[in-house]
């Protein structure tokens, strides 16, 4: 799988993404979640104290023929078994992300 994560560390990712005007940010426990509004890309970046630190997850919503999918790339700096768990957690949450995107797409008031 080709990686679309050009950042070597969470700090570099946060610095670069925060500089983009189209990126919205929120903190969720020991994660920073950044949403790049121009490509429907969601970045999840660990903070120190997170058991998976230093890690970055990039997820991009794609729509093709009415179906929504999530492309995901992971750069995980934890132990291999912990990284496997990180991937499993995000794969499970991808279904929630797809469902939210589908309901937004089906909404009559989507602008």
Angle at 20 between CA 71 and CA 58, to 5 degrees: 20
Query: Is pLDDT above 90 for 79?
Result: yes
DSSP 43-58: EEEE-TT-TT-SEEEE
pLDDT at residue 58 is higher than 50: yes
User: How far apart are alpha carbons 54 and 45 in whole angstroms?
Assistant: 8
Most confident of 44-53, 63-72, 99-108: 44-53
pLDDT in the model for residue 68:
84
Could you list the beta-strand ranges (E) of 2-87: 23-28, 31-36, 41-46, 55-64, 67-76
Lowest mean pLDDT among 18-22, 65-69, 87-91: 65-69
Query: What single DSSP character describes residue 70?
Result: E
Task: Kindly tell me if the per-residue pLDDT of 59 is higher than 90.
Answer: yes
In this model, does residue 4 exceed pLDDT 80?
Answer: no
């Amino acid at each position: 799988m080709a990686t679309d994560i050009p950042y070597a560390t969470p700090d570099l990712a946060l610095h670069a993404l925060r500089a983009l005007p189209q990126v919205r940010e929120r903190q969720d426990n020991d994660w920073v979640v950044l949403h790049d509004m121009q490509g429907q890309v969601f970045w999840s970046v660990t903070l120190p104290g997170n058991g998976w630190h230093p890690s970055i997850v990039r997820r991009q919503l794609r729509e093709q023929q009415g179906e929504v999918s999530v492309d995901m790339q992971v750069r995980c700096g934890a132990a291999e078994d912990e990284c496997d768990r990180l991937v499993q957690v995000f794969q499970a949450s991808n279904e929630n992300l797809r469902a939210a995107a589908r309901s937004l797409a089906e909404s009559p008031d989507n602008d």
